[in-house]
Structure 1
Amino acid sequence: MKQKYQIDGISCSGCVAMVKKTLEAHPDIEKAEIFLAPKGATLITMKETLSVDELQKQLNALEGYTITEINL
């Protein structure tokens, strides 16, 4: 299942690589696609649906990033 999110704090390809690696370390996340245009736009493919709180906990391993869900 794919979900769309916005990650604030993304400013360069180094940020993208760090955040991607951190998110994909979660056992229920298959793939994280993070874009610089628009900045911080993110597609996460999950085995099991995770809440924004669970995703934020995973991101808290890094400082300065916050994730919010994009509702269509």
Structure 2
Amino acid sequence: MKRKFQINGISCGGCISRVKKTLEEHPKIEKAEIFLAPKGATIITMKETLSVDELQKQLSNLEGYTIEKL
């Protein structure tokens, strides 16, 4: 299932690479697509639904990024 999110703190391709890699390390996430236009727009394909809190916890290894549901 695909869900739309906004990741705040995305400013460049390097940010996208780091955040994408971190999210895709979660066993319930199949794919993360993050865009620069509009900045931080994200589509996450999941095997099972994850809450925003669970996704934020996955991002906690990286500083400066927050995620919210659209």
Tell me whether 1:65 sits opposite 2:65 in the alignment: yes
Gaps of 5+ in 1: none
Aligned residues: 70
Q: Residues of 2 paired with 1:65 and 1:51: CA distance?
A: 16
With structure 1 as the length reference, what TM-score do the two structures score?
A: 0.97
With structure 2 as the length reference, what TM-score do the two structures score?
A: 1.00
Which residue type is aligned with residue 22 of structure 2? Answer: T
Which residue type is aligned with residue 43 of structure 1? Answer: I
Give aligned-pair identity as a percent: 79
| Mapping of residues 21-60 of structure 1, within 5 Å | 21-60=21-60
CA shift digits 1:8-29 (9 cap, x unpaired): 0000000000000000000000
Q: Residues of 2 paired with 1:52 and 1:37: CA distance?
A: 22
2:12 alignment counterpart: 12
Q: Residues of 1 paired with 2:33 and 2:26: CA distance?
A: 14
Q: CA deviation at 1:7?
A: 0.1
Task: Quote the RMSD (CA, aligned, Å).
Answer: 0.2
Which residue type is aligned with residue 40 of structure 2? Answer: G
Gaps of 5+ in 2: none
